[in-house]
Amino acid sequence: MGLLDKLRGEFIDIIEWTEPSNNDILCYRFPRYNNEIKNGAKLIVREGQAAVFVKEGQLADVKTPGMYTLDTRNMPILSTILGWKYGFESPFKCEVYFVSTKQWTDKKWGTQNPFMVRDPEFGPVRVRAFGTYAFRVSDPGTFLKQLVATDPSFETYEIANQLRNAIVSRFVDVLGQSKIAMLDLAGNYEKIGTLARERIAPEMQGMGLSITQFFVENISLPPEVEQALDKRSQISVLGNLDQYTKFQTANAIEEAAKNPGGNAGIGAGLGAGVAMGGAMMDALRPGQSPVGAGAMPPPLPQAATFFAGINGQQVGPLDLNTIAAKLRGGEMSRSTLVWKAGMAGWAAAESVPELQSLFANVPPPLPPG
């Protein structure tokens, strides 16, 4: 520092700090030449600030918002430390730190990795969580001693990781001990946030800080668990699987009628869908043993059913008795096209082995002429 700075320091008798805009400074050491403060100097502490005096490495005094004249009458602690016989008749050396006590908002917290909790309904599950919080310096003296030390400009980024780690650790404890089911968390974010803030408070007080607000924005499950929950919700919405199977069958028939050229593929998909629906119904039927368990015999084989093309329309499914009745009534003949699951395409009825016995009593068509 040059001579001009020294002289400027000797004549400056107002000690104040105007925080620059868009800054993250929590604590700022007021610069003075050799830390000398003139007797009778004016100290201005604005709202949202506190002034901390440090003399010979010791915390001397803390001033709240207001204007002060620095002399022995309003600084008894400092005068005791100085121990001067003649008081403040000449400049004295002392460091002045301005601490921002305003509320710092919209600070982010979140879990870097999923953590395991025991859910009363799903069992052990991995979850993630994130949100925001706000904090302020509640005890400038403790804050200076525990975090700032001799840093001339202490900023929020210097404690961001420490605060986040402390918050996440205590939040995990609170969520694990709350025993709230995963499906009920959405309605309990405020309760969990309040519990977490109370759990974090003692640790923050040890650093001269306090958490003024704490919000949980989201607690999420792993993607595979969310997909399983979606499937479960779909089954709950469907309700009666038998009715659902019938509904899907009707849709498949309607689509087949609209697309005659693709009937074979649609019919095959329809047969597979009906078979799957039946398997699902069997699996969910009360008392039904798992496949391969050996406790119950397999279901009886089902009679073959066919679809038939009658008068340009697809009709079915038809069992053998219904087909025989239609043959007797003249609605069907040997040349009527039929199809069932497993067939490559539509074929004349008389060429299908399962239907040949039905034509034993049905005469062939008359020869022409």
**The domain that contains 309 carries what CATH number?**
3.30.1490
**pLDDT of 225:** 78
Total number of domains constituting the chain: 4
Q: Decide if 299 is inside a domain.
A: no
Q: Looking at the structure, tell me whether residues 116 and 82 fall in a common domain.
A: no
Decide which of 65, 100, 135 is a domain's last residue: 100
Q: Looking at the structure, tell me whether residues 200 and 115 fall in a common domain.
A: yes
pLDDT tens readout for residues 55-109: 888 898 999 999 998 875 555 555 544 444 444 444 567 889 999 999 999 999 9
**Which structure tokens are listed for 74?**
């309003």
Domain range for 278 is 239-286
Give the other-Cβ count within 10 Å of 256's Cβ.
Answer: 21
Is the distance from CB of 208 to CB of 146 less than 8 angstroms? yes
When pLDDT is averaged across residues 207-233 and rounded to a whole number, the result is 85
Q: Decide if 168 is inside a domain.
A: yes
Decide which of 41, 76, 100 is a domain's last residue: 100
Q: Looking at the structure, tell me whether residues 152 and 209 fall in a common domain.
A: yes
When pLDDT is averaged across residues 317-327 and rounded to a whole number, the result is 86
Q: Quick one: which of 25, 153, 40, 143 has its CA closest to 88?
A: 40
Examine the pLDDT at 303 and tell me if it is beyond 90. no
Q: Looking at the structure, tell me whether residues 94 and 112 fall in a common domain.
A: no
Q: Crossing angle of helices 189-205/157-178, nearest 10°?
A: 130
Examine the pLDDT at 213 and tell me if it is beyond 90. yes
Higher pLDDT, 288 or 242: 242
Q: Looking at the structure, tell me whether residues 86 and 108 fall in a common domain.
A: no
Q: Decide if 291 is inside a domain.
A: no
Q: Looking at the structure, tell me whether residues 188 and 263 fall in a common domain.
A: no
Enter the pTM of the model.
0.57
Examine the pLDDT at 1 and tell me if it is beyond 60. no
Q: Looking at the structure, tell me whether residues 244 and 275 fall in a common domain.
A: yes
**pLDDT of 134:** 95
178: enclosing H helix or E strand: helix 157-178
Q: Quick one: which of 171, 216, 161 has its CA closest to 196?
A: 171
Q: Decide if 228 is inside a domain.
A: no
Decide which of 198, 223, 248 is a domain's last residue: 223
Higher pLDDT, 21 or 291: 21
Q: Looking at the structure, tell me whether residues 52 and 79 fall in a common domain.
A: yes
Q: Looking at the structure, tell me whether residues 145 and 249 fall in a common domain.
A: no
Higher pLDDT, 201 or 75: 201
pLDDT tens readout for residues 20-30: 876 789 999 99
- The Cα 146–Cα 158 span in angstroms is 13
Q: Decide if 53 is inside a domain.
A: yes
